[in-house]
Amino acid sequence: MLSKKKWLGEERRTEIMMVLKKRNRPIKGGELADQLNVSRQVIVQDISLLKAKNMPILATSQGYILDNTILSHQGHTQLVACYHPPERAEEELLLLVDQGVRVNDVKVEHPIYGDITANIMVSNRKEVYQFLEKMKQTKASYLSELTNGVHLHTLEANQESDLYDAIEALRQEGFLLTGETK
């Protein structure tokens, strides 16, 4: 636990980066705020300033984490196009993490805003259920609802074979977008 001293500006942002570098799992904004003796809103602003300086920080439903895929990528990634209604999101995410892959994000192409990407960062069932619970609690809509269920996911795995297995599982369950009219 950090001291209850008053952390100011750059010093606080430097400390945020040090905390994130030491962790291999997300940390909630409220927890960072408590550690640094500031409000959660100050943390949100600090994270925005750090991102503006190209710090690879991801805001996920589990909290903030450094994007280690940018810092030192050692896995295999694949962008896949998927299609399903919102009520099948849980099924899709569980299917993917059960194949040993991490779902990094969801992307949609909006007719006005262009590409919209949101971090998901789930790699196991617990994280999927936390993500879904946060969706439910906040009454948020899935990005794919903007595009009638069409969306992209960046998948990551340590083994290339896990990516192939995940893509094949998506195909077998009818989640993989094939270009045929649905």
Which residue positions form the known binding site for Ni(2+)?
Answer: 84, 92, 151, 153
Contacts for 154 with CB less than 8 Å, ≥ 6 apart: 77, 78, 79, 103, 104, 105, 107
Amino acid in the structure at residue 148: N
d(CA 94, CA 91): 5
CA distances 103 to 9, 153, 154, Å, are 33, 7, 6
The residues, any chain, with a CB within 8 Å of residue 52's CB and separated by 6 or more, are: none
Number of H helices, E strands in the chain: 7, 6
Strand partners of residue 156? 77, 102
Name 162's Cβ contacts closer than 8 Å, sequence gap at least 6.
76, 99, 100, 101
Q: Which residues define the annotated binding site? A: 84, 92, 151, 153
Amino acid letter for position 121? M
